[in-house]
Chain A
Amino acid sequence: MTTTAPHSENEFHQPVSEETFARVWNDPTGIRGLLQGVQNQPIGIRLIGLSIFFLILGGIQALLMRTQLAVPNNTFLDPETYNRLMTMHGTTMMFLVAIPMIEGIGTLVLPQMMGSRELPFPRLAAFAFWTFLFGGLIFYFGFFVDAVPEGGWFAYVPMTGKEYSPGLGVDFYLLGLNVAETAAIAGAFELIISFFHMRAPGMSINRIPIFAWAIMVTGWMIIFAFTPLVVGSTLLELDRAIGTHFFNPDQNGDPLLWQHIFWIFGHPDVYIIFIPPLGIVATIVTVFSRRALIGYTFIVISLVSLGFLSFGLWVHHMFATGLPELALSFFTAASMMIAIPSGIQIFAFIITIWSGRPVFKTPFLFAIGFLLIFVLGGLSGVMLASVPVNLQTHDTYFVVAHFHYVLIGGWLFPIFAAIYYWFPKFIERMPNERLGVWNFLLLFIGFNVTFFPMHISGILGMPRRVYTYQAGVGLEPYNLLSTIGSFMVAASFVVFLINMIWSARNGQKAPANPWNADTLEWLPPTPVPPYGFREFPVVNSRNPLWEKAEEQVVEPGTRKLLDVLKHYPREYRAQIATSAIDARPLEVFRVAGPSIYPFWAALAIAVMTLFLVFSQYALAGVCLIITMFTLIGWHRDTGAYSKPDEEEAFEREYGVPLRPHGSRVIGRWGTILTIVTLATALGTLCFSYLYLRLKPPQWPPDGIAMPDPVLPGIALLVLLISVIPMRWAASALQRDERAGVQRGLLIGVVLGILYLVGNLLSYGQLGFNYQTQAFGSIFAIMAGYQLLTMLVIVVMGAAMLFWFVRATHERPSRHQAITDLVLFWYYAVAAGVVTYALLYIGPIVI
C-alpha cells in the first residue's frame, strides 16, 4: 500500500479511517480465524471456555465419587474405577482448570487493563491455547484405550513405577501433563513481559493495578515451579520407559526424591492458583466499595512475599516420611509465617470495604464468599502446619476439607466474581443478577454443607483416597451430608451455565463501564475493537477512570507520539513498549499477526507425545523435526516492513525507535526468561544429583568406575574459549562490521561442535550406563541435558550464520537476534561448567 515511505510528520500523521486501521488488526474469520488467530481477546475467551469445560468434567468425577461415598460399603463404583476418578478429578482441577483459567483471564484482561493493545508474543499465546487443549486431550485419551492413571494427582513412586502401574495410564498422565505445563510456562512469559514493558505511558510502578501485580508474581512462580515438575515427570517417565533408577530404592535411587520434586512444584502451585484471585478480589473490592484500595503498598509487598515464601514450605506435605525433626520445624515456622502476608491483604480488603459504600452485586457477593471461606481454610492450614497435629490429620479428610476451603474459597469464588465482573465488557451483555445471586447462594451453602463435615470425618479417622470406609465408627452422617452438599454445588453450576448462556443471548446490552470501574480495560467502547485502544491512554493515578479532568496531564512529546500512533503504522500491528519503573515510551514495535504455525507446532508436539506414550520413538523423532520446521514458519511474518530511512525519520520526529522486526526490549526479555527456565531445569537436576549422592556411602557407589575427567575437561576448555569469538561477533554486530560477525559466529559454532564431539567420545569410554544404579541415571540425564542444550544452540548458531551470510543487502545491526543467540551461548557455557563440576569433579570431591 505504501507508494512512498513516510518521512515527515505530515506523512506519518496521514489520518486513516477506522476500517483501514482495523483491517490490519482483524484476525481472519471462520475456521481460518480459529486456527490462525492470535489476538488476545479470542484466545483469552477460548482458554476460559476450555477451563470451564474441564471444570465440569472434574465436577462430574467428584459427583460420582461422592455418590460412592454416600454410604459405607457402597458398590456404586468398584475400587479401580474410584481410584481412577479420584486421580482424574485432582489432576484435572489442578492442571487443566486452575491454570488455563488464570492465564485465560490474564490474556483477556491484562493488556487492556494496562492500556496496551496486545500481549508481547501473540503467536505464543495461540500456541499456549492449543497446547493446553492438546495436553488435556492427550491426558484424557487414556480413557479410550483403558489406560487411566490410578495413582492420585501426586503420583507417588513406587506405586506409579512400571512394576506397580504396568499399564500406560501413568504415561498418559506424565507426558500429557508435560505438554500442558509447557503451555503454562509459555503463558507465564507473556504475562511477565506485559507487566514490565507493555503499560500505558504514566502507569508507573506504583500505579499498576493490583491484579497486574498478582499476575506478574504468578508468572515468575510458574516458571520456577512448573519447570521442576516437567523435569521430575521426565525422570519418572524415564524410569518407567527405559529403566533408569532415579526413584528405585534397590538401586540407590530414592522414592522421596519424587516427593521433594513434586512438592517443590506442588506447594507454590497452590499459591499460583491463589494469588491471581487475590488480585481479582482487590479489583472487585475497589470497584464495588466505590473506594480506592487502602493498603496498596502493603498488598504489593505481601504479594511478592507470598511468591517467595511459598517456595519454602514444601516439606509440610512430607511430615510423615521420617525426615529429621529439626528440618521439619523450619517448615512449620515458614508454613505458619505465610499466614501473615495473606492476612495483611484480607484486612486491607476489609478496611477498604469499611471505608467505602458497598454495592451488593453478584461479583461483590462472590468476593464476600471468598473472604468467608478462604479465611477458614487458611486457619485450618495453620493447624496443619504444626507437625504433631499434622501427623494425626495428614492424609485424612481434614486435609481434604482444608484444601477445598482454600481452593474453592480462594480460587473458585473469585473466578466466578471475575467472570460476572468482566462479562459485560467482553460478552457485551449484562449477566442476569437474580440468577447470579442464586448461583452464589447455592454454591456458598452447598460448598459448606459438602466440605465442613469433612473436617469432622477426618478427626473421626477417615483417611483420604479411599473408595469406601468402615461402617459403625461414626462416619455415616458426615459423608451423607457431604454427598448432599455436592449435589447442591452441582446445582449452582447448572444455574451458572444457564446464566451464562441466557445472558449472552438475552441479557441487557452492556454500556462501556456498567460497574463504574476505575481501571483502563473499561475505557474502550463495548464491543471492544480488536486493537483495544486506538489512542493509547495516559495514566496519572492508580484509578485512571476515576481521575478528575484536571488531574489528566500529558507531556507534549508523549502526546505527539500517541497521536501519530492512532494512524500509523498502517501495515502491521503496532504497540508501544514502556520502561519498567516510570512507564516512559521506549519503542514502537510490531506485534505478530495471524499465523497457522502455532497450531501446527502444538499439534506436532501433541502427536510426538502420543508416540512417546506408545514408545514409538522413531515416529516421535520425526514429529520433533517437524516441530522444528514449524518454528521456522512461525517466525515469518506476512506484513510489509518499513524501510530503514523511514524508521530513522520516525525516531527523529517522535523520539522513540520504530521496530518493525519486533521489539528489542521484549525480545531480550524473551531470551532471558527462556534462559531462566533452562537454568531452573538444570537446577532441579543438580538438586537431584546432590540428593541422590546422600544415599550410598561413597560416590560413585561401590562397583562403578570413576568417570574420567580429562577428555570432557578439554572439551569444556574448548567451550570456554568459544566465548571469545561469540563476544567478537556481538560487538562487531553493533559496529556493523559484517566480516567480524561472520568470523566470530563461524569460529564459535566450530568450537561448539568440537565440544559436542569431545563429550560424545568420552561417553563411549565410561564404565557405566544410564541403567547402572541411580548414579548412572543421573549422570546420563545431566550429560544428556547439557548435550541437548548445546546441540540446539549450535544448530541455532549455524542457522543464524547462514541467514546472515545470505542477507548481504541488509545492515548487520538489523540482525539483533544474534545478540540473543550470544546470550544463549553464554548460558550454555555456564551450564557446561556446572554440569562438568558435578559430573566429573563431584565424584572426586564429594
Chain B
Amino acid sequence: MKLSRKRSRLLLLVLCVVLLAACQGESSILDPSGEGAMHIANLWWVMLIIAAVVYVQVISFLLLALFRRRNADGGGQLPDTGPPSKHARTFIVVNGIAIPIAILTFVFGFNLLTLVQLSPVNANAQLTIEVIGHRWWWEVRYPTHNIVTANEIYIPTDTQVELHLTSSDVIHSLWIPKLNGKTDLIPGQTNRMFLRTSEVGEYRGQCAELCGIQHARMQLFVVAQSPSDFEHWIEGQQQEAPAPADDMALRGQQIFLGAACVYCHTVRGTSASGVIGPDLTHLASRKTLGAGVVLNTPGNLAGWIIDSQSIKPGNLMPPIYLESDDLQALLTYLATLQ
C-alpha cells in the first residue's frame, strides 16, 4: 500500500515538473497574453488538476487491486462465482456514479462561467477587422480605416477587437494561442472572434484547419501596440504607395507594372489592382514573406519572386523570370513600399 502511494506521488511530481516546463513558449496556450486566453488557461488548470487527481486515484485503486496481499493460493481452488460483497457494489456506485456526477457538475459549471466570460454578448467591439482566408495566406482588412494588408493584424492594446472571419476558398482556422481560442474561417459564412490584450508585443498565429498542401506554413502575426503607436501605423497604412524617388526605383515600378505581378497583386496608387494575391502597398513594412515562411529580407524577397515554389512548394505564385538587372530594380522599387 505504501509503495503504490509513493509511486503515485512520484508520478504526480514528475507530471508537474514536465507540465511546468511546457508552460513557456512563444505559442503556448498556458502562457497567455490575451484576455480570452487567460480565462481559458485558468479553466485549463482547474480541469488539469482535477483530472490528475482522478487519474492518480483510479490508478491507486488498480495497483492496490493487483498487488494487495491475498491468502496463499491453493492452486486447484475453483474460481469464485459467489455473490459480490455489499462493499463491491458501493465501490462501483460511489466511484462510478456519485463522485463523477459531483466532479462533472462542478467542472461543467466552471466551464459555463468561462464561456460566459468569453461570450460575444459581453463584448463591445471597439474595432472591427475582417480576415479572409486564402490558400495559404491571410487577407486582413480594416473597413473603418480603409486599409488592406496581409498576414499581419495590428491591434491597439486594451481595446476589444472583433474579427470577422470568412474564407475565399476552403475552410481555414485562425489560431493565436497566446491571445484566444481558435475560430474557423468558412466560405459562405462569417464567424466572429475577439481579441483583447494589455501587453504590447508580437503574437504568432497559425492556421489550424487542414487546408491543403501548405497548411503547415500559413502563419501570421498579431502585433499589439500602444494606442498611439497603433494610430501611427494606421496613418502609414492609409497612404498610397509613394511615387518612385530615383531612376532605379522608377525602372523597378515599370517592371512591376509590365510583368505578371499585376494580375494578382494590388499596389494602391498605381494601376496594379489584382486581388488573387496579397495587397503589396506596404510590403516593405512586413516582417515575413509567404505568410510567415521566411523573413522579409532582400535575399528572401528575390528568391520568392524568382522561384517561390522552392520556398513554399505548391503555393499559387508561379516563378517569375527576370534578368538580374531587372530584379535589382524591382527590389529597389519594392523596398519603397513602406
Interface residues of A (CB under 8 A from B): 78-80, 83, 150-152, 156, 158-159, 164, 249-250, 254-256, 290-292, 294-295, 298, 320-322, 325, 329, 332-333, 336-337, 339-340, 343-348, 350-351, 353-358, 368, 371-372, 375-376, 379-380, 382-383, 386-396, 456, 459-461, 463-470, 472-474, 516, 518, 541, 543, 546
Q: Does the CB pair A347–B26 fall under 8 Å?
A: no
Q: Which of B116-139 contact A (CB under 8 A)?
A: 118-119, 135
Q: Is the CB of B59 within 8 A of A394?
A: no
Report whether A333 and B92 are in contact in the complex, using a CB–CB cutoff of 8 Å.
no
A-side contacts of B210, CB under 8 Å: 83, 151-152, 156, 159, 464-465
* Given A79-B314, A376-B55, A379-B55, A158:B171 Cβ within 8 A: yes
Q: When chains A and B are docked, how far (Å) is the Cα of A389 from the Cα of B29? A: 10
**B80 touching A294 by the CB < 8 A rule?**
no
- Complex partner residue of B61 from A159, A295, A298, A350, CB under 8 angstroms: A350
The 6 closest A-B pairs by CB, nearest first: A391-B181, A249-B188, A461-B27, A466-B216, A344-B96, A322-B191
Q: A353 to B65, Cβ gap below 8 A?
A: yes
B95 touches A392 (CB 8 A): no
From B85, B101, B114, B189, contact of A388 by CB (8 A):
B114
Known pairs A156-B170, A371-B62, A463-B208 / 11 extra A-B pairs, C-beta < 8 Å:
A79-B313, A292-B80, A298-B92, A321-B186, A351-B88, A355-B88, A357-B70, A375-B55, A387-B111, A388-B114, A543-B79
Nearest chain B residue, comparing its CB with the CB of A154: B210
In Å, the complex CA distance between A375 and B19 comes to 19
Q: Are B204 and A461 in contact (CB under 8 A)?
A: yes
Cβ of B209 within 8 Å of any chain A Cβ, yes or no, is yes
The answer for the CA separation of A351 and B43 in the assembled complex, in Å, is: 32
Contacts of A472 in B (CB 8 A): 26
Point out the residues of chain A lying under 8 angstroms from B65, CB to CB.
350-351, 353-354, 358
The verdict on B37 contacting chain A, using a C-beta distance below 8 Å, is yes
Take A295-B88, A463-B207 as given contacts and tell me if A394 and B182 are in contact as well, using a CB distance cutoff of 8 Å.
Answer: yes
Q: Are A159 and B211 in contact (CB under 8 A)?
A: yes
- A461–B79 CB distance below 8 A: no
B229 interfacial by beta-carbon distance below 8 Å: no
Chain B facing A: main interface SS: mixed
A254 and B188 contact, Cβ closer than 8 Å, known pairs A332-B108, A344-B97, A546-B79: yes
Interface residues of B in 183-217 (CB under 8 A from A): 183-184, 186-189, 191-192, 204, 206-217
Question: A388 to B43, Cβ gap below 8 A?
Answer: yes
For window 313-333 of chain B, which residues contact chain A by CB distance below 8 Å?
A: 313-314
Query: How far in angstroms is the closest Cβ of chain A from B93?
Result: 8
Contacts of B26 in A (CB 8 A): 461, 472-474
Contact between A389 and B115, CB atoms less than 8 A apart: no
Cβ-based interface call for B223 (8 A): no
Closest to A396 in B: B208
CB distance A546 to B81 under 8 Å?
Answer: yes
**Cross-chain contact A80 with B213 (CB below 8 angstroms):** yes
Contacts of B212 in A (CB 8 A): 83, 150, 159, 164
Give Cα distance in the complex from A745 to B112, angstroms.
60
Residue of A nearest to B84 (CB): A294
Report if A379-B54 is in contact (Cβ < 8 Å); known contacts: A343-B96, A372-B59.
yes
Specify which chain A residues have a CB less than 8 angstroms from the CB of B191 in the assembled complex.
321-322
The stretch from B44-52, B240-248, B251-259, B298-306 touching chain A is B44-52
A350 touches B62 (CB 8 A): yes
- Flag if A474 contacts B25 (CB, 8 Å): yes
Q: How far is the CA of A332 from the CA of B104 in the complex (A)?
A: 11
- B89 proximity list for chain A (CB < 8 A): 294-295
Pair A325/B115 contact, Cβ less than 8 Å: yes
A529 to B46, CA, bound (A): 58
Whole-angstrom CA separation of A30 from B96 in the bound complex: 52
1/0 per residue, CB under 8 A from A, across B55-90: the answer is 100110110111010100100011111101100110
Among the listed B19, B104, B192, which residue makes an inter-chain contact with A339, where contact means beta carbons less than 8 Å apart?
Answer: B104
Would you call B209 and A158 a contact (CB within 8 A)?
no
Task: Determine which of A250, A325, A357 lies in contact with B188 in the assembled complex, contact meaning CB atoms within 8 Å.
Answer: A250
Cβ 8 A contact of A325, one of B80, B85, B119: B119
- The reply to whether A368 and B181 contact each other, CB–CB distance below 8 Å, is no
| B100 partner, pick from A256, A339, A380, A464, beta carbons under 8 A | A339
User: In the complex, A108→B89 CA distance in Å?
Assistant: 33
Q: How far is the CB of A595 from chain B (nearest CB, A)?
A: 42
| B40 contact from A255, A320, A391, Cβ within 8 A | A391
Query: How far apart are B173's CB and chain A's nearest CB, in angstroms?
Result: 6
* Contact call B170/A158, Cβ cutoff below 8 A: yes
Contacts of B101 on A, CB cut-off 8 Å?
A: 340
CB neighbours (8 Å) of B81 from chain A are: 292, 541, 543, 546
**Do B118 and A388 touch (CB < 8 A)?**
yes
Q: CA of A380 to CA of B191 in the docked complex: distance in angstroms?
A: 27
User: Roughly how many angstroms separate A469 CA and B217 CA in the complex, as a whole number?
Assistant: 8
Q: Does B39 contact A (CB under 8 A)?
A: yes
Q: Are A518 and B183 in contact, CB atoms less than 8 angstroms apart?
A: no
Query: Roughly how many angstroms separate A467 CA and B212 CA in the complex, as a whole number?
Result: 11
User: Which residues of the partner chain B approach A156 to less than 8 Å between Cβ atoms?
Assistant: 170-171, 209-210
Residues of B within 8 A of A474 (CB): 24-26, 28
Q: Once bound together, how far apart are the Cα atoms of A380 and B19, in whole Å?
A: 14
Are B96 and A347 touching (Cβ within 8 A)? yes
In the bound complex, what is the Cα–Cα distance between A322 and B77 (angstroms)? 62
> In chain B, what residue has the closest Cβ to A517?
B79
A594 to B111, CA, bound (A): 58
Task: Decide if B30 is an interface residue (CB 8 Å cutoff).
Answer: yes
CA distance A333 to B112 in the complex (A): 10
| A372 contacts across to B, CB distance below 8 A | 59, 62
Docked-complex contact A340 and B97, CB < 8 angstroms: yes
Nearest-CB distance from B156 to chain A (Å)? 24
CB of B213 within 8 A of CB of A290, answer no
What are the interface flags for B5-36 relative to A under an 8 Å C-beta threshold, 1 for contact and 0 otherwise? 00000000000001100101111111000000
- Whether A392 and B40, one on each chain, are in contact in the complex, defined by CB atoms closer than 8 angstroms, is yes
Name which residue of chain B comes closest to A323, CB basis. Answer: B191
Chain B's nearest CB lies how many Å from the CB of A380?
7
In angstroms, Cα B184 to Cα A255, docked, is 12
Asked whether A322 lies within 8 Å of B27 as measured between CB atoms, the reply is no
Q: B171 contacts which chain A residues (CB < 8 A)? A: 156, 158-159, 255
Closest Cβ neighbor of A256 among chain B residues: B186
Whether A344 pairs with B40 at a CB distance below 8 angstroms is no
Taking each of B62, B96, B119, B135, which has the highest tally of chain A beta carbons within 10 Å of its own beta carbon?
B96
List 27 A-B residue pairs with CB atoms under 8 Å apart, sorted by A's residue number: A158-B169, A164-B170, A294-B84, A294-B88, A295-B92, A322-B186, A325-B119, A340-B97, A340-B104, A345-B96, A348-B92, A353-B62, A354-B65, A354-B68, A357-B70, A372-B59, A382-B47, A383-B48, A387-B111, A392-B177, A456-B19, A464-B208, A467-B216, A470-B204, A470-B219, A473-B27, A543-B81
Question: Does A347 lie within 8 Å of B111, measured CB to CB?
Answer: no
Q: Given the complex of chains A and B, what is the CA–CA distance between A819 and B217 in angstroms?
A: 62
- Shortest distance in angstroms between B290's beta carbon and chain A's nearest beta carbon? 13
List of A residues within 8 angstroms of B40 by Cβ: 388-389, 391-392
| Nearest chain A CB to B82 CB, angstrom units | 8
B107 within 8 A of A: yes
Residue of B nearest to A360 (CB): B66
Chain B residues contacting A325 (CB-CB under 8 Å) are 115, 119
B100 A340 Cβ-Cβ under 8 A:
yes
Interface membership of B221, Cβ < 8 A: no
Of listed A329, A350, A468, residue having the most chain B CB within 10 A: A350
Contacts of B85 in A (CB 8 A): 355
Q: How far is the CA of A31 from the CA of B21 in the complex (A)?
A: 60
Question: Could you tell me the distance in whole angstroms from the C-beta of B306 to the nearest C-beta in chain A?
Answer: 20
Q: Are A290 and B80 in contact (CB under 8 A)?
A: yes
What are the residues of chain B within 8 A of A355 when measuring CB–CB?
Answer: 80, 84-85, 88
Task: Let me know if B100 and A343 touch, CB within 8 A.
Answer: yes
Contact of A337 among B104, B112, B173, B217 (CB under 8 A): B104
Contact partner of B78 among A353, A380, A546, CB < 8 A? A546
Contacts of A371 in B (CB 8 A): 58, 62
Task: Name the contact of A348 in the complex, choosing from B18, B66, B96, B189 (C-beta under 8 A).
Answer: B96
Q: How far is the CB of A367 from chain B (nearest CB, A)?
A: 11
